[in-house]
Structure 1
Amino acid sequence: MPPSTLVLPRATSRGSSVAGKAYWGMVGRVALTAATIDAAYIVLFLLLGSVPLAAINLISIAMYLSAYALIRRRRNMLGVTLIWVEVVAHSALGSLMIGWESGFHYYLLLFIPAIVIANTKGYAMPMVLGLLVYYLGLKSLCEYLGPLAPLPPRRVEIVNAIHVCLIFGMFAALASFYRRTILVAEARLLKQATLDPLTGLSNRGHFQTLASNELARCQRSGAPVALMLCDVDHFKQVNDHCGHAAGDRALVHVAQILSANLRECDVLARWGGEEFLALLPDSSLLAAHAAAERIRAAIEAHPLIIDGTPIAITLSFGVAQLQGGHDLQDATARADKALYESKRAGRNRVSLG
């Protein structure tokens, strides 16, 4: 019974996505783990002298193995429902048989975060209230009937202590699961907000943020800053003759060579379309010109290979020095004008702005 509550929060997950398949794989492992723990419970309750509870755990093992088989067959909702039924029924039977003090009811409390977190249709409050009514009703019934198959008080204390330890561990595991889920979601959102999905480079907005930080640093130190703007030559022809997939591969190819030939401190971004922009802190205009020439030669020397056929790719560059006020917009305009001069002069060259 114990580990099964960890599968409750995502009962609506879809198995069709990669994440969904991974999740349901985890649910299946949890079901097997729960079955293993229930097998250990059989030994425990036999040692404590409670044959009926040992028998209940046999049924629980069968339910968990059935849930595992259902999930393996992608009958996910039915499998999870079976797990829910096992937890609710097992908690009630254990509490009724050896008393409320045994702590079987603790497992019902794990439904609360499960219901609240998983709920997407506004049913959380009614479900939690329903759970509360069930919980209090079970408590009243246990007090009214008394233990149906009582154990000596000392043995009940042992069962309670085991349940307390398991509940602490399960709440910690549940919190850890959701912490990891939140961190992964935050990382995914940050990536979507800051990176170009095709090339993996910074997008325009993230570039401006990073560039502002670097410009502030260079302004304090008085270090020179240069800007490098480049554009893939005849990119439309690559798309028209080789297809848009080839065009995408060309952009990735260019991005990789740019990254490999720039310093770690340089700020590189896909500026838009087939244009790339790099901020070069601590670089004079001559140093930036040399870096652009090096990259231009590297691009020219490494054609894109598609289906065994080399496709020549070249870049045109515009390089500008940021002035004393570090006006990024002005420098970008001058680099763009220099890039236009490179295009007009025949492409595959570097011009200064």
Structure 2
Amino acid sequence: MASSASTTAPTAHPPRPFAVPQRGSSVAGKAYWAMAQRVALTAAAIDCGYIALFLWLGSLPLALVNVGSIAMYLVAHALIQRRHNTAGILLIWLEVVAHSALGSLLVGWDSGFHYYLLLFIPAVVIANSGRYAAPIVLALLAYYLGLRWACDHWGALAPLAGKGQQIVNAIHVCVVFGMFAALAAFYRRTILIAENRLLKQATLDALTGLNNRAHFYTLAGHTLARIQRTGEPVALLLCDIDHFKQVNDRHGHATGDQVLVTVAGVLSRNLRESDVIARWGGEEFLALMPASPLASALEVAERIRVAIEQTTVHHQNNPVPLTMSFGVVQVASGDDLQAAIARADKALYQSKHGGRNRVTVG
């Protein structure tokens, strides 16, 4: 028998018994259901091996039980594939619960069929709030103890000959250890994905993927602290899309967003990985450039200006021309970051009032 307790995964949706993510609700939800289908097929394949095992041990009833289990897993796979998700998961639960009971009653408690029930505990607790998890776990405990009592009361109804029970127990221990490891790996991967998503939300601009203002201050602080020890030159580049309000007014905010993403791409391609770049706010972008003398920073700014000027965004097949204005300053050793940004902003202001689409040194 192969348990599929790992198919109950954490979900961001409102808690409910046997909570599962809704198909199509997120990338994680789609991955979850793909995983659930793989688990059903894997469990069916493992049960094929159990059929051979129990035929070898001379237990036709248990071999037939595994035939039924394979059918249930295949039906569960088909249900999930057809988006009957809850029915598919409940069928998997039913298979594990029934198979554990039948195996324990036929072969005896010491065969270890009951180990598979334990896989439900972390799955239930992680996937549900305490309101639902506690009663489900208590019900599972009652079922577990009731099954133990029944096995002690009636004994093995169809015991295996020789060391058959010990062989089955050893196999169950190995399989359940593997399943617990896979279950832990799944939840660890889920947690890491969630942490990474939260980190991106906290540090990156959702539209452009560049650093947001708060994270820029953090990264820039580290960079400035390092260069104060080395004495290397640092430049600051502040730029602003020309006539961006007109783009939004004439072509709509969707086109405006496309412009911002396009500009962010041009900036990223023309700046180094060591440069700290951020969407500063609205249509403004800011970059801290370590190991950059002022002359080098001016060359980079001019290269970006030309690249932006040669870039065109289309709205309904109509070109939307782009230009940017720049302010570039050298950050002196021990210079306050806010003061340097203020000087770059003043230089940018001069570019705007000097005709736009130009670079000004502050």
TM over 0.5: yes
Q: CA deviation at 1:153?
A: 4.1
Q: Which residue of 2 aligns with 1:92?
A: 101
Against the structure 1 CA distance between its residues 9 and 287, is the aligned structure 2 distance closer, same or farther, given a 3 Å change threshold?
A: closer
Which moved further from structure 2: 10-19 or 100-109? 10-19
Q: Which residue of 1 aligns with 2:52?
A: 43
Taking every aligned residue pair, what percent have the same amino acid on both sides? 66
Contact 1:226–1:319 at 8 Å: present in 2 too? yes
Q: Which residue of 1 aligns with 2:15?
A: none
Contact 1:63–1:82 at 8 Å: present in 2 too? yes
Q: Which residue of 1 aligns with 2:14?
A: none
Structure 1 Cα separation of the partners of residues 312 and 132 of structure 2: 58
AA aligned to 2:91 is L
Q: Which residue of 2 aligns with 1:167?
A: 176
AA aligned to 1:2 is A
Q: Do residues 7 (structure 1) and 15 (structure 2) align?
A: no
Structure 2 residue aligned with 1:232, among 232, 238, 241?
241
Which moved further from structure 2: 56-65 or 206-215? 56-65
Structure 2 Cα separation of the partners of residues 253 and 69 of structure 1: 43
Q: CA deviation at 1:183?
A: 1.1
Structure 1 residue aligned with 2:265, among 256, 263, 269?
256
SS at match of 1:123: helix
Q: CA deviation at 1:216?
A: 0.5
Against the structure 1 CA distance between its residues 264 and 170, is the aligned structure 2 distance closer, same or farther, given a 3 Å change threshold?
A: same
Q: Do residues 300 (structure 1) and 306 (structure 2) align?
A: no
Which moved further from structure 2: 4-13 or 24-33? 4-13
SS at match of 2:279: strand
Q: Which residue of 1 aligns with 2:164?
A: 155
Structure 2 Cα separation of the partners of residues 44 and 323 of structure 1: 76
Q: Do residues 350 (structure 1) and 359 (structure 2) align?
A: yes
Q: Which residue of 1 aligns with 2:211?
A: 202
AA aligned to 1:49 is G
SS at match of 1:169: helix
Q: TM-score normalized by structure 1?
A: 0.95
Structure 1 Cα separation of the partners of residues 106 and 297 of structure 2: 80
Q: Do residues 291 (structure 1) and 300 (structure 2) align?
A: yes
Structure 2 Cα separation of the partners of residues 91 and 195 of structure 1: 48
Per-residue CA deviation, residues 245-277 of structure 1 (Å, 9 max, x unaligned), is 211111111111111111221111110000000
Contact 2:351–2:357 at 8 Å: present in 1 too? yes
Q: Which residue of 1 aligns with 2:16?
A: none
Structure 2 Cα separation of the partners of residues 193 and 177 of structure 1: 24
Contact 1:228–1:318 at 8 Å: present in 2 too? yes
Which moved further from structure 2: 23-32 or 126-135? 126-135
1:64-83 alignment to 2 at 5 Å? Answer: 64-83=73-92
Q: Specify every segment of 5 or more residues in structure 1 that has no aligned partner in the other structure, as ranges.
A: none
Structure 2 Cα separation of the partners of residues 8 and 294 of structure 1: 53
Structure 2 Cα separation of the partners of residues 263 and 82 of structure 1: 54
Q: Do residues 314 (structure 1) and 329 (structure 2) align?
A: no
Contact 2:216–2:276 at 8 Å: present in 1 too? yes
Structure 2 Cα separation of the partners of residues 349 and 63 of structure 1: 70
1:114-129 alignment to 2 at 5 Å? Answer: 114-120=123-129, 122-129=131-138
SS at match of 1:2: coil
Which moved further from structure 2: 61-70 or 140-149? 61-70
Structure 2 Cα separation of the partners of residues 169 and 309 of structure 1: 59
Per-residue CA deviation, residues 122-167 of structure 1 (Å, 9 max, x unaligned), is 2222322322222222112211111001112401111111101100
Q: Do residues 103 (structure 1) and 112 (structure 2) align?
A: yes
Contact 2:47–2:67 at 8 Å: present in 1 too? yes
AA aligned to 2:4 is S
When the two chains are superposed, the root-mean-square deviation of aligned CA atoms in Å is 1.6
Structure 1 Cα separation of the partners of residues 193 and 225 of structure 2: 31
AA aligned to 2:79 is L
AA aligned to 2:22 is R
SS at match of 2:131: coil
Per-residue CA deviation, residues 293-333 of structure 1 (Å, 9 max, x unaligned), is 22112211233344544322111111122233221000111
AA aligned to 1:212 is G
Structure 1 Cα separation of the partners of residues 261 and 37 of structure 2: 39
AA aligned to 1:293 is E
Structure 2 Cα separation of the partners of residues 282 and 42 of structure 1: 68
AA aligned to 2:133 is A
Which moved further from structure 2: 146-155 or 318-327? 318-327
Contact 1:9–1:113 at 8 Å: present in 2 too? no
AA aligned to 2:291 is D
AA aligned to 2:103 is G
Q: TM-score normalized by structure 2?
A: 0.93
Q: Specify every segment of 5 or more residues in structure 2 that has no aligned partner in the other structure, as ranges.
A: 11-18
Q: CA deviation at 1:285?
A: 2.5
Q: Which residue of 1 aligns with 2:224?
A: 215
Q: Which residue of 2 aligns with 1:186?
A: 195
Contact 1:3–1:31 at 8 Å: present in 2 too? no
Query: In the comparison of the two structures, how many residue pairs are matched?
Result: 353
Q: Which residue of 1 aligns with 2:13?
A: none
SS at match of 1:280: strand
Structure 2 Cα separation of the partners of residues 109 and 65 of structure 1: 23
